[in-house]
Structure 1
Amino acid sequence: MQIFEIALIMSFLFQNVRLTVGKYQTTKEFFRVDKNKEIRSMDLEVIGSMSEVQCAAFCEENSDICCEITYVKSSKECKLGPSGCCHMEFNKVSGSNILHPGRKFNDYIYTLSVSNGGVFGDWTYQEFCTKGHYAVGYKMKIEGPHTDRTELNAIEIICGSRGGVPCGDISSSGQQEWGGWTDEVLCPAKTLLVAFSLQVQQYNVVVDNTGANYVKFKCRDFKNDAGNFDMSYPPGYGAYGSYGEWSDACPVNSAICGIQTKIHGGNPYVQDDTALNDVKFFCCE
């Protein structure tokens, strides 16, 4: 079934239940949605009758409890998406317009980069978390001791809600084949990845080059500059090279949501593979 259809709708009225949305009293709606014979569920808070612009503003003002909106034009009903915001993609639910398609390349507002990236390789594709999700942690793919060491081969960001809860989706961009994955490391509660620093071995013609060796991040609250935490996977550094300066940080009311890697696969005349050489991260509101 290519288009979601509402299979069952049950509505419940919660007495004296209010969100921080002024004078509006909320009503809870529960949807069971059938896609390809799988049942998905979602809760929506019906805020009241208003314009679509006002509905979007309510969602932005109450981002802790809203990652998506449903606006029913026929009745002018504004419905805020669930708290936590770990949900599947809902495209074209019958009778509404839930704003939750997958991210597209132009959805980000800011690009994070560093000046000490390696010189080899090509930029691969951009990859993003599901819309409404942001990076809450990461893990790395690292090659250990080897005849031709490559060290950092891939970075994978763990995607989650604005509240810092992992939602099950990931984003990794291009990678090389060597090495194994570390365990994941997550930001402190209710914070997200917002900046990074890259450890790189700069090119030297007389040694075995490895390109990027390690990456570390800063975690911060989505809404403000409070609670900056430096975070890295133990021991926090690789075998070769040094860390450069920190990237810029995502603006307030945004966090890292996507990644693009620069990958080197070797030279047919001089085999000195360096795998991941550089990386960019993207910030989304």
Structure 2
Amino acid sequence: MKRVAGAKLLLLLLWMTRCGHVGSGGPSGHTSVIEVTNGGPWGDWAWPEMCPDGFFASGFSTKVEPQQGIPGDDTALNGIRLHCARGNAERNTHVVESQSGRWGVWSEPLWCPRGGYLVAFSLRVEAPVTPGDNTAANNLRFRCSDGAELEGPGLAWGEFGDWSDSCPKGVCGLQTKIEPPRGLRDDTALNDVRLFCCSS
């Protein structure tokens, strides 16, 4: 299992290098990837985005489409932004966002208290329903370095899964899995996310 995880990380790093996403926050800027096991099954992994060197993700915001009612098509969670900071004095100076869905509005950032940083996450996902209106990811919550938990203003369908592993030195990047718009068929938008752990 460890060999498979290592191979996945190596392939991801090679992809990042080829696609020009390795820069100040590239392989030297993170040491591992944390994931959850309950992500939605639809869509493809987009590009990764990293905090600048020396910055840690201290807060986050979400893009959520409100409940559409009948006969609307619900997509719930559409996007995640990490708010990178270097101490309290430089909060909100750099925001990173992988691909997001087209629906919804961005929330105000939620910050770890007392200059803390994000270290782990849990995703709220609605299991596939057939027939029915699938939404996949609905919300997420983060654990901060001091143990505080922050929950986004998402929707209530589905269940929160297990917590991811923790980043020893904090989160410094993300990559989202997004289903593109499907026209008149059922849309789900954001299905899953993985986070990158900082190395220093």
TM range (shorter): 0.7 to 0.9
Q: Does 1:112 align with 2:34?
A: yes
Please give the alpha-carbon distance, in whole angstroms, between the structure 2 residues aligned to 1:255 and 1:165.
17
After superposition, what is the alpha-carbon deviation per residue over 1:78-115, rounded to whole angstroms, capped at 9, x for unaligned?
xxxxxxxxxxxxxxxxxxxxxxx721255311111000
How far is the alpha carbon of 1:124 from its aligned partner? Answer: 0.2
Please give the alpha-carbon distance, in whole angstroms, between the structure 2 residues aligned to 1:186 and 1:214.
16
Please give the alpha-carbon distance, in whole angstroms, between the structure 2 residues aligned to 1:167 and 1:178.
23
Taking structure 1 as the reference length, the TM-score comes to 0.58
SS of equivalent to 1:111: strand
How far is the alpha carbon of 1:163 from its aligned partner? Answer: 5.9
Counterpart pick for 2:150 among 228, 231, 240: 231
Q: Does 1:242 align with 2:159?
A: yes
What is residue 20 of structure 2 aligned with on the other side? none
What is residue 187 of structure 1 aligned with on the other side? 112
State which structure, 1 or 2, has the greater radius of gyration over its C-alpha atoms.
Answer: 1
RCO higher in structure (CA 8 A, sep ≥6): 2
After TM superposition, the runs of 4+ consecutive aligned structure 1 residues lying more than 6 A away are none
What is residue 24 of structure 1 aligned with on the other side? none
Letter of the structure 1 residue corresponding to residue 97 of structure 2 = S
Letter of the structure 1 residue corresponding to residue 190 of structure 2 = L
> Which of the pair is proportionally richer in helix?
2
Please give the alpha-carbon distance, in whole angstroms, between the structure 2 residues aligned to 1:256 and 1:279.
13
Counterpart pick for 2:188 among 274, 279, 282: 274
Please give the alpha-carbon distance, in whole angstroms, between the structure 1 residues aligned to 2:161 and 2:108.
24
* Paired residues of 1:164 and 1:190 also in contact (CA < 8 A): no
How far is the alpha carbon of 1:206 from its aligned partner? Answer: 1.6
* Paired residues of 1:140 and 1:182 also in contact (CA < 8 A): yes
What is residue 6 of structure 2 aligned with on the other side? none
Letter of the structure 2 residue corresponding to residue 219 of structure 1 = C
* Paired residues of 1:197 and 1:216 also in contact (CA < 8 A): yes
Letter of the structure 1 residue corresponding to residue 151 of structure 2 = S
What is residue 54 of structure 1 aligned with on the other side? none
What is residue 216 of structure 1 aligned with on the other side? 141
Please give the alpha-carbon distance, in whole angstroms, between the structure 2 residues aligned to 1:248 and 1:271.
35
What is residue 66 of structure 2 aligned with on the other side? 144
* Paired residues of 2:66 and 2:155 also in contact (CA < 8 A): no
- Let me know the Cα RMSD of the aligned residues: 1.8
* Paired residues of 1:164 and 1:187 also in contact (CA < 8 A): no
Letter of the structure 2 residue corresponding to residue 229 of structure 1 = A
Q: Does 1:259 align with 2:179?
A: no
Please give the alpha-carbon distance, in whole angstroms, between the structure 2 residues aligned to 1:114 and 1:106.
23
Q: Percent identity?
A: 38
* Paired residues of 1:136 and 1:164 also in contact (CA < 8 A): no
Aligned length: 174
Please give the alpha-carbon distance, in whole angstroms, between the structure 2 residues aligned to 1:155 and 1:203.
21
Taking structure 2 as the reference length, the TM-score comes to 0.82
What is residue 122 of structure 1 aligned with on the other side? 44
How far is the alpha carbon of 1:183 from its aligned partner? Answer: 1.1
SS of equivalent to 2:30: coil
Unaligned runs of 5+ in 2: 1-22
* Paired residues of 2:51 and 2:95 also in contact (CA < 8 A): yes
Unaligned runs of 5+ in 1: 1-100, 221-226
